[in-house]
Amino acid sequence: MLRLIAQRLGLGLITLWAASILIFVGTEILPGDLASAILQNSATPESLAEMRSELGLDRPAIVRYGEWLGNAARGDLGHSLASKRDVVEELSPRLKNTVFLAAYAAIIAVPLAVALGLMAAIWQGGVYDRLVNFVTLLTISVPEYLVGYILIKYLSVQMGWFPSLANVTPETPTLDRIYLTFLPVMTLVLVVVAHMMRMTRASVLNIMASPYIEMAFLKGLPKWRVVVRHAFPNALAPIINVIALNLAYLIVGVVVVEAVFVYPGLGQLMVDAVSKHDVPVVQACGLVFAAAFILLNMIADILAILSNPRLRHPR
C-alpha cells in the first residue's frame, strides 16, 4: 500500500506540474494585458513599454514561468497586479468560502445520492426507479446556471423564501451563512446528485448478477438486505470514484454558480481577475483548482484500493 500511495503521489505531482504549464500558457494567450487595461485610452507605445517593464511583462515567458513555479513551490504566489496585495491574502478568505459551499453541498448530496441509488436498485424496473432515472437524466441535461436561475425565479422572486444573492462576509454567523447560501448549494446538489445516484445504481446492479448474490436470494434473504449488506460493499470502488469526481467538481466547477449568485468565492475572484487581466491571481486560482482536483482524484484511487483488495495487484 505504501508503494502504491507513493506512486499516486508521484503521478499527482507530475500532473500538477503539467497543469501549471497549461495554466501559464493559457494566461499568456489571453487577449490584451494588464498594462493596456490600466492605461486604456491614454496608452501610447512608449507608455505601454514603460508600464510593461515596470510590471515585469517584458521578460521572456519561460523566465517568468520558472520564477512563478519556483515561488509557488515555496508558497509564494506573487502579488496582484491590480491591487498590489499578496495573492495568498486575497485567496484565503475566498478559498474558505468555496470550501464551505462545497462541504455544505457534499453533506447533502452524497448521502442523498447513495440512498436514492440503493432504493433504485432495490426497486429496479418499478415506478420509483423510472421516475428517479427520468428526473436525474433531466438534471444532468440542464446547465447549472439555468438551474440556478430557475431556483431564483421560484424560491426567491415568487416565494421570497431565500435571497437571490449569496452576500456573505467573514463576520457572517454560521446559521446565517447556511441560510444565505441555500440556493447555490441546492443548485450544486441538483447537478451532482444525478451522476452519483446513477453510478450507485449501475454499480450495485452489476454486482447483483454475481453468483454469491444468487446464493443469498436462494437462502431467502429479502432483497433490501442483499443489496445493502452484500452488493453495496462490493460496489464501493466505482461509487467512491464518481463521488470523488463530483466532490472535485464542487470545488473547481463552482465558477458559474458563484457568478450567478454573486458569491464571494474563488470562482468569482477568478472571473473578476480575468476581466482585470490580473494574471497572478488567475494563475493562482487555476493552480488551486488543479491541485484540489488532483488531490481528490488521488484520494479516490487510494480509497478504491482499500475498499477492493483485488486492485492492489495488477492481475
Question: What angle do the packed helices 279-307 and 236-252 form, to 10 degrees?
Answer: 170
Integer Cα distance of 18 and 262 in angstroms = 31
Measured CA to CA, the distance from residue 115 to residue 99 in angstroms comes to: 24
- Of 115, 102, 108, nearest to 249 by C-alpha is 102
Position 110 scores a pLDDT of 86
- 39 and 48 in contact (C-beta within 8 Å)? yes
pLDDT at 153: 84
Would you state the pLDDT for residue 314?
Answer: 53
DSSP 162-184: S-SS----TTS-HHHHHHHTHHH
Separation CA 108–CA 125 (nearest Å) = 26
Residue from 272, 258, 271, 290 nearest 165 by CA:
258
User: What pLDDT, on a 0 to 100 scale, did the predictor assign at position 41?
Assistant: 61
* Res 38: pLDDT: 61
Sorted by where each begins, the domain ranges of the chain are 2-73, 88-312
CATH number for the region 88-312 comes to 1.10.3720.10
Q: Which residues in the chain come in under a pLDDT of 70? A: 1, 30-44, 46-48, 51, 54-58, 307-315
Of the candidates 225, 222, 232, the residue with the CA atom closest to the CA atom of residue 202: 232
How many angstroms separate the CA atoms of 253 and 49, rounded? 37
Q: Which residue has the cell 493596456?
A: 36
122: cell is: 432495490
